[in-house]
Amino acid sequence: MGGIIDGCPSGLEVDLDFIQAELDRRKPGQSHIVSQRKEKDKVEFLAGIFEGKSTGTPIGFIIRNENQKPQDYDHLMDVFRPSHADYTYAAKYGNRDWQGGGRSSARETICRVVAGAIAKLILKEFGIKIYGYTSQVGDIQLKKHYSKLDLTKTNGSIVRCPDELIAEMMIRRIEMVRKEGDTIGGVVSCLITGTPVGLGEPVFDKLHADLGKAMLSINAVKGFEYGSGFEGISMTGSEHNDLFFVKQGEVHTHTNHSGGIQGGISNGEDIYFRVAFKSVATIMKTQSSINSKSEQVEIKGKGRHDPCVLPRAVPVVEAMAALVLVDHLLRNQTTKLEYISTC
Amino acid sequence: MGGIIDGCPSGLEVDLDFIQAELDRRKPGQSHIVSQRKEKDKVEFLAGIFEGKSTGTPIGFIIRNENQKPQDYDHLMDVFRPSHADYTYAAKYGNRDWQGGGRSSARETICRVVAGAIAKLILKEFGIKIYGYTSQVGDIQLKKHYSKLDLTKTNGSIVRCPDELIAEMMIRRIEMVRKEGDTIGGVVSCLITGTPVGLGEPVFDKLHADLGKAMLSINAVKGFEYGSGFEGISMTGSEHNDLFFVKQGEVHTHTNHSGGIQGGISNGEDIYFRVAFKSVATIMKTQSSINSKSEQVEIKGKGRHDPCVLPRAVPVVEAMAALVLVDHLLRNQTTKLEYISTC
Amino acid sequence: MGGIIDGCPSGLEVDLDFIQAELDRRKPGQSHIVSQRKEKDKVEFLAGIFEGKSTGTPIGFIIRNENQKPQDYDHLMDVFRPSHADYTYAAKYGNRDWQGGGRSSARETICRVVAGAIAKLILKEFGIKIYGYTSQVGDIQLKKHYSKLDLTKTNGSIVRCPDELIAEMMIRRIEMVRKEGDTIGGVVSCLITGTPVGLGEPVFDKLHADLGKAMLSINAVKGFEYGSGFEGISMTGSEHNDLFFVKQGEVHTHTNHSGGIQGGISNGEDIYFRVAFKSVATIMKTQSSINSKSEQVEIKGKGRHDPCVLPRAVPVVEAMAALVLVDHLLRNQTTKLEYISTC
Amino acid sequence: MGGIIDGCPSGLEVDLDFIQAELDRRKPGQSHIVSQRKEKDKVEFLAGIFEGKSTGTPIGFIIRNENQKPQDYDHLMDVFRPSHADYTYAAKYGNRDWQGGGRSSARETICRVVAGAIAKLILKEFGIKIYGYTSQVGDIQLKKHYSKLDLTKTNGSIVRCPDELIAEMMIRRIEMVRKEGDTIGGVVSCLITGTPVGLGEPVFDKLHADLGKAMLSINAVKGFEYGSGFEGISMTGSEHNDLFFVKQGEVHTHTNHSGGIQGGISNGEDIYFRVAFKSVATIMKTQSSINSKSEQVEIKGKGRHDPCVLPRAVPVVEAMAALVLVDHLLRNQTTKLEYISTC
C-alpha cells in the first residue's frame, strides 16, 4: 500500500511518532477481538518532508505488506465471495487481482490513516480536535450524550468505547460471534470540537455532505447522520430550531440539533455524527456462492479476519473527518477578499 | 435562478414537456399542504439545444422568479433566523443577499430538478428508472417493503406517499403542524431499478458515497442510509450476506441487504436508500434570536412557507439520484480498454 | 452568450462601468478596421453581486445578442467552411448549431472579457497590472522592447499598437487585405507588472504553462512564447542566465530572459509573453469546400467579419491573463501553513 | 522518484520492456553529449498491473535514485542559482529540499516518461503514433518539412535528429559549448499521425491548448507553436485556409496549416508542433549570485550536467503528447449519446 498526499502546506512539523501511533491504533493483532494478522504497518516516506518539515511537495509514502500469506487467498481465485466486491470488480474491470482483495480490501484504509494523521497535525495548529468512538456493536448501544462521556478513555479500550461497562458488553458480543465463526456490525460516533465558523461550501459541497461522502467511502459503511439525524425528523421546527445567544461577544446556540453546521457551513458549535458499519462479509462458516463460470460452489473463510470492524474503524473515521476539515479549511482561505495576501 | 449543465452528450432528444412536468412536481402552490407561493417556474433554455436535440454544448437555462415579494424579507435584513444559514453566511462571506435567502434558499433546488430531468432522459435510454416517495412524516411511517408498494401511485398523492391510508395520516399530521404555525420533518425513500452492473468507483467515489453526498447536499437533509442501513448493523455476517445465484445466465442475489451496491459498485440489483429531512426552520411562531449587532431580538416567520418539505422534496431527491447515476454511467465508459472506440 | 464566474471572493467592489468599458474595447463596430456588426454588448448580471459587492456566490450573467442576422448564416447550414470548426464539430457531436457558429464563434470570447474584467478588479487590489498590445500585423512588426513603449497609448490606437508610426502601417495593411476580401494575422504581446513572488505551481501547473494554455484556448491562436521564447534558444547558458542582485532588501535580476517566471513560479520581475494569431478563416473570396454530403461546393463569406482579429483580441488576451493570475493568487493562499487563518 | 498513474483502462497489456526502453531513451550517460551520471533508471511497479495486464486500479511505481551524490549539492544549500527555481521555491514554500533540486530537477520528467509509455501503449491500440525529434540546437536548424524526413532514423542519432548531416553539426555545437563549460538550447519538433477526428474540447480545453500546456510544463520550455505557428501569421486567409476534399469517402485537406486541429478539435490530418527549450541553467563557469541572506556570492556548477537538454527531451515531449491524447481519447467517449454503452 502507498499513496501521495497532495495539498499539505509547507512548514508543518511532521511528527512521525504521532503518525505511527495513529497507524498502531488501526493495525491488526493489537487485541484478541480483532484480526490476528501480524503486520508491522511501518510507513516509509519517500518525498515531501525535509528536515522534519513539509516542503509543500506532494508527500509520497509506502507501507510494505510484510505478513501477506497468498495461500490464504488461493481458494478465492475464481470465486465470488458473497457481499464482497469480487463480482462487481470482475464485471467492471474484466480482470482483477484476487490476492488479498486488492483495492477492495479494507487494508486500503491504512493510507487514509497516514493522510489523516498529517491532517490532524494541521488541525492541531488551529485548535480543532476529533474524537471517534464505538457507540454500538450489534444491539449493544452506548446511549449517553457525548458530553457525559470521558473521551480520553476511548483509546484505552480495546473496542474503543469510552464507557467501561458498555465496552465490556461489546467485547463479549464480539467474542461470541467470533466463536460462532460469524461477524457483527456497529456504529462509530464522532465529535469534532474547535471548528471555526465558516467552513463548508453553500450548495453541493456542504461540510456535512463532504463528511458524509468521506464516511460512506469507508469499507462496510451503510449510513451517515449528523446532528439530530434520523431521530430528529419527528421534532417540530419549534423544538428543533437552535436559538442563538451571545456570550462574551461570541455567538452560540442553546441547543445543537444542527450538529454544528447550518446551511452547510460550520457555526462554531460541536460537530457530531454517526456512521453505521455492517458486519464483515468474510465469515468462518460455509456459504454457497458462485464462481466465475457461473457454477454454484461452497466457500468458507480462511485467513485471519476481523469478527467486528468497529475497533479498528475508529481511527479511519477520524482520519477521513480530519481530511475533510483540512480541505475546507484550505478552501476557505480564498473566500473573502480581505483574507487574500501576497507573499 | 439559473444554471449551466455540463457533460450532456450530444444527440439526446430533450423533451421539454417532461422537464416542465418535473418542475411542476416541485413547484409551490400545487396543494394545500405546501407553500402557497404562486410561482410559474417556467424554464427558459439559452444554449445547448438545437432543433430539439442536445448539441454537446453546456446547456444554459434561467427560471425567472416572478412572484417574489421582497417585503416578505424586509424584516430579515439584519436578523439571523434560528437554524437558518443567515449567521454562517454572514460570518463566512462578510456580506450576504438577505432577500429570499439567496443561495441558501431551497428555491435553489429548482435548478437541480431541471438538470435531473435531463439526466432522467439519458437514463431512460438505458432502462434505468428512479422512484422517490415520502415514507415518513413526523412519526407517521410507511413500513412496507418497497416491493409491496404500487409506486405508480406516488405522484397522485399530494404528500407523495403511494399508500393511500398512510398518505392520509401524513396529510393530517402536516395540516396539524401548519395550524400551529409549526413544521415537521420526514423521510424520502428512493428506489432505482435497471442499473447495469459496474457503476461506481472503488475507493473514494463509491456509488453510494456519491449518492450520499448528493442527498446530503439538499437543504434540510440530516441523514442518509442505503441497503440495510442503520438497522442492519445488528445482523450477523451470516444473516447479512447476500448469496449469489445464476438465473438465465444472469447473476443475482437471494437477498439484497447490499442495496444493489457491493464494494462501491452496482451489482445489478435494486438500489434503494433513505434520506432524512428535518423540519423546516421557518415557523409562524415567535422565536428569540440575535441580529448582526449581537442584540437579542424576537422574530416571527412571514411569507408563504412549507409546513413540511417532504412532498416537494421527492422530485429533488430523484433529480440528484439521476445526476449521480449519469455521472457514473459516463465515467464508466473509460473503464475498460475494449469499451473505447474512435469515431 | 452568458456564463457563470465561480471563485470570486466576497467583498469585491464590482465596478460595472469598468466591466462595460472592457467589453467596449472588444466589441465590433468600434472602428473601420474591424467587423461592422453593431452589437451593444451590454452585460446583465443575474447573481453574485449585492449592493455593489461580490457576495462569494457564483456570478451569473447574460449578454443578449441583439443584432444577429440568421440569414447571414443560411448558406452555411450544410457547408463545412475551410479552416473553421464546422467539420470537426459535425464529426464530434453529430449535430451542431450552424447559426453564427455557436460555441466555435469568436463571440464566445465576450464571456472571457466579462470574467477577465472582474479578475482585473481583484488584481488591482494587489497592484498587478496587465498591458496587452498589438505587436505585429502580417509582416509589420513592432520590434521595440516593451520598456521603450508608452503603453498608455495602446487604447487610443484603433489597432491597439502604442507606437503611432507602426500602428499607421498596421492599419494600412489591414485596409489592404480588407479591400481584397482577405484577412491577415498578427501577434499580441502582453506585459504583466507587479506580480508578487511565488505564483505558479511547480510541476504541471507552472504559471507560464497555464498562461500558455489560456492563450492557446483563444480562437485563432497558433503559438505562445514567454521571456526569451523561440529566439532565446540560440543563447548559451552564460548569456541567458539572469543574475540576481539585491536592492533595498528586494531580490531582482539584472536581465529578465526568464520572463518573470523561474521553475514555473513568478520571481517578481515583469512577466511578458507573445501570442500568435492566424488570419481569420472567413474571407470574402470564393473558395472551394465540401458539404455534409461530401459534395464539392463553392462558398463565399457573407456577413460582417473582421479582416484582422488583432485589434479586438487585445482585451481577450488581457482577460485570460487576468484569470490565470487570479487563479494562482487564490491557489497560493494555501501554500504555507503560516498563511492559513481561521475567521 | 515515483508516482501514480490514474485513469488507465483495464485490460491493457503492459509491455514492461517497452516502458524500460522509453526510460533508456531519456536516461543520462547514454552518449558523450549528455550528462555523465550513471543512473539505471529501473522502474518498479507497485500496483495496478496483474498478470501482465492493467487492472483499472491506479498504477503506482518507483524509480530509485541509485547514483545520487549529495556532496555535489552541498555547496548549493544556501545559494540561489541563477535562472534556477531555488529562489522562487524558497520564497513560495519557506523551506526547500536543496539536495538535487527536488521537484524542480529535470529528473522529475522520468515519471512523465513512465506514464507516457503506458499512454503510448494505449494509443497503439488505435493506430496513433508519435514522432518527436530534435530540429534545432542553437543556430543549427533542420528546416526540412517532416514529410521529407525518415523519422525511423531519429532514435539512432544520439542527438535525436533524423537528418544525419544536421545531426553531426548539432553534435559539434554541443561538444563546443560543453568544452566551454557552457550550455545551449534548441527545438523539439513533434508529429502525431493516425489521430481520429473529434479529439479536443471546444472552448478552454482545445486539443492544442492542452498540448501547449503539457509542453510548457516541461522544464526549460519557453515556447510552443502548432501548425503554421508564429511564421504563419503573415499569411492571408486565402493562403492559410486548408481546403477540404473527399477521397475514398474520407474528408481531407489539401494543405495542413491547421496542424491537424480545427476549432480545438482534431480533424484527422497530421498533428505537428514545435517546442522551444532554453539552454540549461547550470553551467561550469563562475557566475555571481546571492545566498539566502541576500549576500552576493560566486558559484560554479559542479556535478554531471547536460550541456544541452534536447537529446534527452525528445522522449519527454513524446510522453506528454501521448498523455494529452489519451486524456482526450477517454474524454471523447462520453461526447455522443450513441457512444455510451452499458456493460
Name every residue in C having a CB less than 8 A away from some CB of A: 7, 9-12, 54, 56-57, 122, 125-126, 196-198, 202, 329-331, 333-343
Rounded CA-CA distance C142/B114 in Å is 52
pLDDT digits (tens, 9 = 90+) for D208-262: 999 999 999 999 999 999 999 999 999 999 999 999 999 999 999 999 999 999 9
B211 grid coordinates: 449518492
Residues of chain A contacting D, Cβ within 8 Å: 2-4, 10-11, 46-47, 50-51, 53, 55-57, 60, 62, 91-97, 102-103, 343
In this complex, do C9 and A340 lie within 8 Å of one another by their Cβ atoms?
yes
Neighbouring chains of D at 3+ CB pairs within 8 Å?
A, B, C
Phi first, then psi: what are they for A324, rounded to 5°? -65, -45
**Cα–Cα dist C101/B55, whole Å:** 12
- Residues in A closer than 8 angstroms to C340, CB to CB, are 9, 125-126, 329-330, 333
Nearest to D333 among B7, B12, B333 (CB): B333
pLDDT at B72 over 90: no
By C-alpha distance, the chain C residue nearest A194 is: C342
**Which chain C residues are within 8 Å of A197, Cβ to Cβ?**
343
Which positions in chain A have a beta carbon within 8 angstroms of at least one beta carbon in chain C? Answer: 7, 9-12, 54, 56-57, 122, 125-126, 196-198, 202, 329-331, 333-343
Q: Which of A3, A10, A97 sits opposite D95 (nearest CB)?
A: A10
Contacting subunits of A (3+ beta carbon pairs below 8 A): B, C, D
Nearest residue on chain D to C280, alpha-carbon basis:
D237
pLDDT of residue C73: 67
| Residue of chain B minimizing CA distance to D128 | B342
Cβ count near B248 (within 10 Å):
5
Angle at B184 between CA B178 and CA B189, to 5 degrees: 130
Q: Which residue of A has its CA nearest to B90?
A: A198
DSSP alpha helices (H): ranges in chain B? 16-26, 86-93, 109-124, 164-179, 207-216, 237-240, 310-331
CA distance B94 to chain D (A): 28
Query: Are A215 and A224 a contacting pair, CB within 8 Å?
Result: yes
Judged by CB atoms closer than 8 Å, whether chains meet at A103 and D57 is answered as yes
- Are residues A96 and D3, on separate chains, in Cβ contact within 8 Å? no
Out of C11, C122, C336, the one facing A9 most closely (by C-beta) is: C336
What local confidence, expressed as pLDDT, does residue B324 receive? 98
Angle, helices D310-331/D16-26, rounded to nearest 10 degrees: 140
When scoring B81, B87, B92 by the number of chain A Cβ atoms within 10 A, the one with the most, hence best to mutate, is B92
- The owner of cell 405522484 is B155
Check C241 against D280: CB less than 8 A apart: no
Cell numbers for D200, please give them.
479536443
Q: How many pairs of residues across A and C have Cβ atoms under 8 Å apart? A: 77
Q: Which three three-digit cell numbers place residue B178? A: 401548519
Q: Give CA separation, B91 vs A196, A198, B85, B219, C330, in Å.
A: 10, 6, 10, 19, 20
Smallest CA–CA distance, residue A37 to chain D, in Å, is: 22
Count of A-D CB contacts under 8 Å: 62
Q: Residue A7 gets which letter from DSSP?
A: -
In this complex, the residue of D136, D216, D238 whose CB is nearest that of residue C209 is D216
Average pLDDT, chain C: 93
The 10s digit of each residue's pLDDT in C48-97 is 999 999 999 899 999 988 766 666 667 777 899 999 999 999 999 998 77
Confidence of residue B71 (pLDDT cuts 50, 70, 90): low
User: Using DSSP, how many helices (H) and how many strands (E) does chain C show?
Assistant: 7, 17
pLDDT of residue A69: 66
Name, of A193-202, C69-78, D1-10, the range with top average pLDDT: A193-202
Pure H helices in B154-283: 164-179, 207-216, 237-240
Cβ pair D80, D94 in contact under 8 A: no
pLDDT of residue D277 exceeding 90, the answer is: yes
Interface test with D, best of C1, C87, C92, C201 (most D CBs within 10 A): C92
Nearest to C290 among D225, D227, D246 (CB): D246
Report which secondary-structure segment, H or E, holds C321. Answer: helix C310-331
Per-residue pLDDT, D58: 93
pLDDT digits (tens, 9 = 90+) for A281-293: 999 999 999 998 9
The residue count for chain C:
343
Q: Say which of A230, A233, A290 has its CB closest to residue B251.
A: A290
D210 phi and psi, to 5 degrees?
-70, -35
Nearest CA among D142, D119, D141 for reference residue D130? D119
Strands C79-80 and A2-5, by their bridges, are unpaired
Neighbour subunits, B (≥3 Cβ pairs < 8 A): A, C, D
Pick from D8, D329, D343 the residue to mutate for testing the B interface (most B CBs within 10 Å). Answer: D343
Are D93 and C335 in contact by the 8 Å Cβ rule? The answer is yes
**Smallest CA–CA separation between A301 and chain D, in Å?**
23
What is the side-by-side strand order in the sheet with A43-47?
A2-5, A59-63, A43-47
Say how far residue C199 (Cα) sits from the centre of its chain.
Answer: 20
Which pLDDT score, from 0 to 100, does residue B302 have?
76
B275 has pLDDT over 90: yes
pLDDT in tens, C98-150: 775 567 888 899 999 999 999 999 999 999 999 999 999 999 999 999 999 99
Strands (E), chain C: 2-5, 43-47, 49-50, 53-54, 59-63, 79-80, 129-137, 140-141, 186-193, 221-226, 244-247, 250-253, 261-262, 265-266, 271-277, 286-291, 296-300
How close does chain C come to D294, measured CA to CA in Å?
6
pTM greater than 0.90 = yes
Is B62–C46 a contact, with Cβ atoms under 8 angstroms apart?
yes
Tell me the H-state helices in chain A: 16-26, 86-93, 109-124, 164-179, 207-216, 237-240, 310-331
Among A216-220, B69-73, C214-218, D293-297, where is mean pLDDT lowest? B69-73
What pLDDT does residue D72 have? 65
Question: Which of C183, C84, C173 lies closest to C136, judged by CA?
Answer: C173
Q: What does the pLDDT look like over C297-338, one tens digit per residue?
A: 999 877 778 999 999 999 999 999 999 999 999 999 999 999
In the predicted structure, residue B68 carries a pLDDT above the cut 70: no
What ipTM is given for this predicted complex?
Answer: 0.97
In this complex, the residue of D208, D224, D233 whose CB is nearest that of residue C136 is D233
For D306, name the nearest residue in chain C, comparing CA atoms only: C237
A93·B208 Cβ contact <8 A: no
* DSSP-derived secondary structure for B216-247: HTSTTEEEEEETTTTGGGGSBHHHH---EEEE
State yes or no: pLDDT of A262 exceeds 70: yes
Distance from CA of A265 to the nearest CA of C (A): 13
Cβ-based contacts of A341 with chain C (< 8 Å): 333, 339
Looking at residue B76, what is its pLDDT?
73
Identify which of B126, B336, B343 has the shortest CB distance to residue D9. Answer: B336
Record: contact A222-B226, CB cut-off 8 A: yes
Burial D131-144 (b: 16+ CB within 10 A, else e): bbbbbbbbebbbee
Chain-chain contact of D50 with A95 (C-beta, under 8 angstroms): yes
Does C240 contact D279 at a Cβ distance shorter than 8 Å?
yes
Q: Which residues of A touch B217 (CB under 8 A)?
A: 203-206, 209, 264
Model pLDDT, residue C252: 97
Chain C interface test: which of B8, B45, B93, B98 (most C C-beta within 10 Å): B93
Residue C10 and residue A339: Cβ atoms within 8 Å?
no
CA B97 to chain centre: 25
Q: Which of A9, A54, A338 is opposite residue C11, by nearest beta carbon?
A: A338
Res. D264 pLDDT band, cuts 50 70 90: very high
Interface test with D, best of B124, B328, B334 (most D CBs within 10 A): B334
Q: In C82-184, where does DSSP find H-type helix?
A: 86-93, 109-124, 164-179
Instruction: Work out the average pLDDT over B275-282.
Output: 96
Decide: helix, strand or coil at residue D127: coil
Among C183, C222, C262, select the one facing D85 at the smallest CB separation.
C262
Q: What pLDDT was estimated at residue D70?
A: 64
